[in-house]
Amino acid sequence: MSALLDARAVRKTYGAHDVLKGVDLSVAPHQVVCLIGASGSGKSTLLRCLNLLEVVDDGEIWFDGREITDPRVDVDDVRRDIGIVFQAFNLFPHMSVLDNVTLGPRKTRGVRRRDAEERASALLTRFGLADQVRKHPDALSGGQQQRVALVRALAMEPKVLLLDEITSALDPQLVGEVLEAVRDLKDAGMTIVMATHEMQFAREIADEVLFLDDGVVRERGAAEQLFSAPRDPRTREFLGRHLG
Amino acid sequence: MTIALVSTAVVLVGVGLLVTSAPGWDRVRETYFDWEDAKAAFPEIAKAFWVNIKAFLVAEVLILALAMLVAVVRVVPSAWMAPLKVVATVYTDVFRGTPTLLIVLLVGFGVPTLGLQGTPTDPFWLGVIALTLSYGAYVAEVLRAGILSVHPSQWASGRALGLSYGKTLRYVVLPQAVRRVTPPLLNDFVSLQKDTALLSAIGVFEALRQAQVYSARDFIFTPMVVAAVFFIVATIPLARFTDWLSLRAARRQSGAA
């Protein structure tokens, strides 16, 4: 199967700090790839590189048949097809939930307001947010806000969804509802790259798991294999600490 | 509550007694607070004050447009904007540092002397331009501070949706920035409303100028007090509006949609 998203030897440096030291990542359509690793291992940076929020210093990223790290590429055009959800939700606080969701389709794809709102309402309903449509983000719980952020990304009908530790800022009792939403998306066939600390969830949902350590992929493999029989001692140590 | 009322009353009555018992009070009352003089001056000053209102309203719109332009130019991280950035920075430095009265005088008398084709010669418009230049620099800095106060993650969110830099600025960042700086902006506009009186210095017949005419003719200052009352009364609605907006913003933030 040919890859939808393909990162080759990606490097990213902040000053003297090498955050990514040549990372390869290949995601096939409808696949879920989980990135695990300690804070600072480069998971978030890799995701931000994938949708060009960060400029890579070296290496290539291919998406949907073209090299998006080519400087001549229209970054806005690429990002419309790559959704991302952040750890801190980052909803637009001055807009209602509905406007948060419709802004992208209306202003980047020229969708008419009525059509955009109809679609947004359907998506919000699907994720249990029908009653929150007119509210402002601050009136919502963390779990609701994060689901709105998911819907906002989905409203663009992305070909791939990047999830950057989307449950890390949530109260423990709210994590479940957000993970449930991710599971729904996988079942619907969405292609997902997910950085996460939820090991149990990664094990259940991932087709492939990458263990990032100090800017390199220390180990990669099928979820079952990597979690039950890690080969690299660093992976074993990390999982030992996180699976308890 | 009652303590506040009583103490306020005591202080006011005390100050009132002190002032009215002063040896010069009768003369002060005659020249500054003469009811007949006030009534006589009122219609003309009211008419002249309309000029202040007009200058304020026109300048306000021009100031917002100019300030927004300057603020955005200074914020945009684009290399080809560099020359414009220099212009914008020099502009804010120069016009924020120069007394408004001086700018009014320089523009009001300087521009007509240039005799350039197409430049206005009406003192009203020259005055409005001077106020715009002066206040534009202040308001630009207020707006710029507002833009910079919006968290970078909001930029990232907008850009991640595929919005261009300009659209992210327009739909995501500016609305938040403007909301945040609305109280200080309105404060600047209260100040602008008063500073329309500076146009009297270049011969615009506004309220202060009109009051000065009476004073010069009859050696009375009651018309000045009348003019002052006009300015005070005009700023109060703006002040209450500012309060209302801040309150509404606070309520919005706390969740009621």
User: To the nearest whole angstrom, how far is the Cα of B158 from the nearest Cα of chain A?
Assistant: 8
Contacting A with CB below 8 Å, chain B residues are 153-154, 156-164, 167, 171-172, 175-176, 179, 252-257
> What pLDDT score does B254 carry?
60
Name every chain B residue with its beta carbon within 8 A of the beta carbon of A77.
162
User: To the nearest whole angstrom, how far is the Cα of B248 from the nearest Cα of chain A?
Assistant: 13
| Mutate which: A55, A77, A84, A94, vs B, most B CBs within 10 A | A94
In the three-class reduction of DSSP (H, G, I as helix; E, B as strand; rest coil), residue A129 is classed as: coil
> What pLDDT score does B253 carry?
62
> What pLDDT score does B256 carry?
46
Q: How far is CA B169 from the centre of its chain?
A: 26
Say if the Cβ atoms of B163 and A88 lie within 8 Å: no
Say if the Cβ atoms of B161 and A77 lie within 8 Å: no
In the three-class reduction of DSSP (H, G, I as helix; E, B as strand; rest coil), residue A214 is classed as: coil
Residue B248 and residue B115: Cα distance in Å, rounded? Answer: 49
Helix B35-75 vs helix B174-195: crossing angle, to nearest 10: 150
List Cβ neighbours of A71 (8 Å cut-off, separation of 6 or more). none
Q: What single letter denotes the amino acid at residue A221?
A: G
Say if the Cβ atoms of B156 and A86 lie within 8 Å: yes
Domain ranges of chain B: 48-206
What HEC string does chain B produce? CHHHHHHHHHHHHHHHHHHHCCCCHHHHHHHHCCHHHHHHHHHHHHHHHHHHHHHHHHHHHHHHHHHHHHHHHHHCCCHHHHHHHHHHHHHHHHHHHCCHHHHHHHHHHHHHHHCCCCCCCCHHHHHHHHHHHHHHHHHHHHHHHHHHHCCHHHHHHHHHCCCCHHHHHHHHHHHHHHHHHHHHHHHHHHHHHHHHHHHHHHCCCCHHHHHHHHHHHHCCCHHHHHHHHHHHHHHHHHHHHHHHHHHHHHHHHCCCC
Of the candidates A53, A88, A94, the beta carbon closest to that of B160 is on: A53
Residue B50 and residue B31: Cα distance in Å, rounded? Answer: 25
Say if the Cβ atoms of B153 and A108 lie within 8 Å: no
Of the candidates A94, A108, A136, the beta carbon closest to that of B163 is on: A108
Domains of chain A: 5-91+158-243 (3.40.50.300)
> What pLDDT score does B257 carry?
40
List Cβ neighbours of B24 (8 Å cut-off, separation of 6 or more). none
Q: What number of C-beta contacts closer than 8 Å exist between A and B? A: 70
User: To the nearest whole angstrom, how far is the Cα of B106 from the nearest Cα of chain A?
Assistant: 42
Name every chain B residue with its beta carbon within 8 A of the beta carbon of A80.
161-162
ipTM for this prediction: 0.91
Q: Is B216 exposed, middle or buried (0-12, 13-18, 19+ CB in 10 A)?
A: exposed
Helix B100-114 vs helix B123-149: crossing angle, to nearest 10: 130
Do residues B84 and B73 lie in contact, with contact meaning Cβ atoms separated by under 8 Å? yes
In the three-class reduction of DSSP (H, G, I as helix; E, B as strand; rest coil), residue A171 is classed as: coil
Of the candidates B160, B161, B255, the beta carbon closest to that of A139 is on: B255
Ranges under pLDDT 70 in chain B: 252-257
List Cβ neighbours of A181 (8 Å cut-off, separation of 6 or more). A127, A147, A150
Nearest-Cα residue of chain B relative to residue A47: B160
Say if the Cβ atoms of A104 and B163 lie within 8 Å: yes
pLDDT string in tens for chain A (244-residue length): 589 999 999 999 998 899 999 999 999 999 999 999 998 899 999 999 999 999 999 999 999 999 999 999 999 999 999 999 999 999 999 999 999 999 999 999 999 999 999 999 999 999 999 999 999 999 999 999 999 999 999 999 999 999 999 999 999 999 999 999 999 999 999 999 999 999 999 999 999 999 999 999 999 999 999 999 999 999 999 998 887 6
Domain B48-206 has CATH 1.10.3720.10: yes
Tokens of B139: 């308001």
Of the candidates A134, A138, A153, the beta carbon closest to that of B255 is on: A138
User: To the nearest whole angstrom, how far is the Cα of A106 from the nearest Cα of chain B?
Assistant: 10
User: To the nearest whole angstrom, how far is the Cα of B187 from the nearest Cα of chain A?
Assistant: 22
Name every chain A residue with its beta carbon within 8 A of the beta carbon of B173.
none
Name every chain B residue with its beta carbon within 8 A of the beta carbon of A93.
176, 253
> What pLDDT score does A77 carry?
94
Name every chain B residue with its beta carbon within 8 A of the beta carbon of A78.
162
Say if the Cβ atoms of A76 and B164 lie within 8 Å: yes
Say if the Cβ atoms of A79 and B257 lie within 8 Å: no
pTM above 0.90, yes or no: no
User: To the nearest whole angstrom, how far is the Cα of B49 from the nearest Cα of chain A?
Assistant: 38
Residue B226 and residue B232: Cα distance in Å, rounded? Answer: 10
- Count of beta carbons in the 10 Å neighbourhood of residue B97: 8
